[in-house]
Amino acid sequence: MKQLMLGNKAVARGLYEAGCCFVSSYPGTPSTEITEEAVKYDDIYCEWAPNEKVAMEAAFGASLAGRRSFCGMKHVGLNVACDPLFTMSYTGVNAGLVIGVADDAGMHSSQNEQDSRHHAIASKIPMLEPSDSAEALAFTKLAYEISEQFDTPVLLKMCTRVSHSQSIVEPGERVLPPRKEYRKDAAKNVMVPAFAKKKHPVVEERMKKLTAYAEETPINRVEMGGTELGIITDSTSYQYVKEVFGDSVSVLKLGMINPMPVKKILDFAAKVKKIAVVEELDPIIENHCRQLGLTVSGKDILPITGEFSQNIVAAAFGRPVDKGPSIGEDIPMRPPVMCSGCPHRGLFYTLHKNRCVVLGDIGCYTLGASAPLNAMDMTLCMGASVSSIHGFNKAGDGENEHRTVAVIGDSTFMHSGMTGLANIAYNQSNSTVIILDNSITGMTGHQQNPLTGKNIKGDPAGKINLEALIRAMGINRVRVVDPYDLDECDKAVKEELAADEPSVIIARRPCALLKYVRHNPPLRVNEEKCVGCHACMQIGCPSISFRDGHAYVDETQCVGCGVCEQMCHFDAFESTGKE
């Protein structure tokens, strides 16, 4: 029966129908829902891995064992997994292996705007790009066929707009291929130089065969319309082109973006007077067309940054732009903020008050960089806070050690922070690392991790003892604080910064949005005691505002964490006693 499906859900359905048996991923918007939907199928083993590299290697192991496998990640996660990716291009696969990567043009939830098509080209691995949910399902199944036919991993590239929009799909039945036999083959799977040298020509020959495949595959299709203009496009850009132009232009839609066809593009160009390329981010298709000797328009009229829309495409070609209804320009900005009761708030207030240099990391705690806390000086990538503070302190000639901290989340620490901490312990920089342990992977929607004691289904799982792990890594000074307790946080920060050896502070308090967390009654403000000093506004809590010269607490949001209560010198905050 036909139904509406999110693009990510459609990929999960494609995994099910294709007979995928093993899924290992690390959550990252906009890819997370693929694995969250796949785990709903009992026939597929699913897990959250500590990071994307581990996930890809686990999926490779499952493929080696003879079962179709999958790993999913966002675009920056693919950077983490590039080490196995490039060599898997040489080894090939046993059973089919599909790698899902979701780009984030517009940087809705990402620290950069890279184009993952470069990874496909550089690693010499085929890449498919669906433009709606139906194609997401179909291309996932096709990816396994290509993987096994050409002995290669296959990249399935999604993007925010395809991942998180719904369109009609028609689900089919699951077809489970027989398990492929594992056979010892060192020349294929052991990539020492002697074997790898022989595999590179194999990879190049495979790319030639895949190029021939790209000429014939129906996912690279021509839709002839008017011949004054021909547009070559891919992914969600195809949808914008069709909405703007309809059948008034001819379109070559590329569903296989690496390798791209040659003859099909040249034949298409011969049928139209002008050629334009519509693609988000980098001019991958455009450069390919230029290498074929074609004169094309592309980034000369369309932006190289940001997410496209129908209006952006229309404006680029001089078409009417539909401005739609306006909500007015006087609507105030609503930047993202930490939630009411967020356990990170008290700790960041402490760091701000102590004028610390704060090297940050990737997670919802990155919001500590925003006003009014302004308590973060750097964010680079997963785990970089711990690695960077070591270099920052080593190069600072002792000036930075007693005022600089690194902050990193619990899930991020397991992802990429441990090796940085090993470097601190081994090379002995006087560095203070604060692990913000909110007992969940918060930013991507409450996924489990190796510190929570639960697996992807919420069932009991192995749980790493964080304090024991840190001590085993060679850090002697380890202490746990409650970030709701401002005095305790202040004391811990001052004492560890004053110490002349590496130290770790674990700020442990579960995320306020977790279902099992019981909150205190909300607070209210006694207006007779409130002097309107605005001190409570320094923490940026969305529950607190000012009315008629006094602080006001929105009881529907307040969780009674008590941070504002501790800040107030006039005891103006008091409990409502309401459950």
The enclosing domain of 292 has a CATH number of 3.40.50.920
Least Cα distance to 213 among 123, 303, 142, 319 occurs for 142
Residue with tokens 């190796």: 450
Gap between the Cα atoms of 123 and 270, Å rounded = 31
The DSSP code for 260 is P
Domain's final residue, options 278, 299, 316? 316
Gap between the Cα atoms of 368 and 345, Å rounded = 8
Looking at the domain assignment, is residue 321 inside a domain?
no
* Total residues found in the chain within this entry: 579
Looking at the domain assignment, is residue 438 inside a domain?
yes
Residues 42 and 164 in one domain: yes
Residues 246 and 276 in one domain: yes
pLDDT score at 199: 97
Residues 31 and 118 in one domain: yes
Radius of gyration of the chain (CA): 27
Q: Where are the beta strands (DSSP E) in 372-531?
A: 404-409, 432-437, 477-481, 503-508, 523-525
SS3 label, residue 478: strand
Between vectors from CA 566 to CA 560 and to CA 572, what angle results, nearest 5°?
A: 80
Looking at the domain assignment, is residue 328 inside a domain?
no
Looking at the domain assignment, is residue 564 inside a domain?
yes
What is the CB neighbour count within 10 angstroms for residue 488?
17
Distances (CA, A) of 212 to 126, 206, 374, 556: 12, 10, 55, 61
> Which residue pairs, CB below 8 angstroms and at least 24 apart, start in 527-534?
527/572, 529/570, 529/571, 529/572, 530/570, 530/572, 531/570, 531/572, 533/569, 533/570
Looking at the domain assignment, is residue 253 inside a domain?
yes
Looking at the domain assignment, is residue 419 inside a domain?
yes
CATH code: domain of residue 545: 3.30.70.20
Residue type, 515: K
Residue ranges making up the domain that contains 470: 344-508
Residues 351 and 364 in one domain: yes
Residue with tokens 């919420």: 458
Looking at the domain assignment, is residue 480 inside a domain?
yes
Residues 132 and 102 in one domain: yes
pLDDT score at 430: 95
Residue with tokens 């027989």: 178
SS3 label, residue 99: strand
Residues 552 and 489 in one domain: no
Task: Name every residue whose Cβ is closer than 8 Å to that of residue 169 and which is 6 or more positions away in sequence.
Answer: 2, 3, 4, 5, 10, 13, 133, 134, 136, 137
Residue with tokens 């960089």: 369
CATH code: domain of residue 73: 3.40.50.970
Task: Name every residue whose Cβ is closer than 8 Å to that of residue 185 and which is 6 or more positions away in sequence.
Answer: none
Gap between the Cα atoms of 108 and 142, Å rounded = 29
Residues 228 and 210 in one domain: no
Domain's final residue, options 216, 245, 263? 216
Residues 278 and 364 in one domain: no
Residues 14 and 112 in one domain: yes
> Cβ distance 376 to 358 under 8 Å?
yes
**pTM here?**
0.94
pLDDT score at 398: 84
The total number of structural domains that make up the chain: 4
Looking at the domain assignment, is residue 518 inside a domain?
no
Per-residue pLDDT of the chain (579 residues; tens, 9 = 90+): 899 999 999 999 999 999 999 999 999 999 999 999 999 999 999 999 999 999 999 999 999 999 999 999 999 999 999 999 999 999 999 999 999 999 999 999 999 999 999 999 999 999 999 999 999 999 999 999 999 999 999 999 999 999 999 999 999 999 999 999 999 999 999 999 999 999 999 999 999 999 999 999 999 999 999 999 999 999 999 999 999 999 999 999 999 999 999 999 999 999 999 999 999 999 999 999 999 999 999 999 999 999 999 999 999 999 988 877 777 777 777 788 899 999 999 999 999 999 999 999 999 999 999 999 999 999 999 999 999 999 999 999 888 999 999 999 999 999 999 999 999 999 999 999 999 999 999 989 999 999 999 999 999 999 999 999 999 999 999 999 999 999 999 999 999 999 999 999 999 999 999 999 999 999 999 999 999 999 999 999 999 999 999 999 999 999 999 999 999 999 999 999 876
Sign of CA dihedral 493, 496, 498, 503: negative
Residue type, 176: L
Residues 427 and 533 in one domain: no
Domain's final residue, options 174, 201, 216? 216
Least Cα distance to 473 among 431, 418, 513 occurs for 418
Task: Name every residue whose Cβ is closer than 8 Å to that of residue 382 and which is 6 or more positions away in sequence.
Answer: 51, 76, 80, 361, 362, 412, 415, 416
pLDDT score at 335: 81
Residues 137 and 50 in one domain: yes
Residues 453 and 479 in one domain: yes
SS3 label, residue 290: helix
Q: What are the backbone angles phi and psi of residue 89, rounded to the nearest 5°?
A: -60, -35
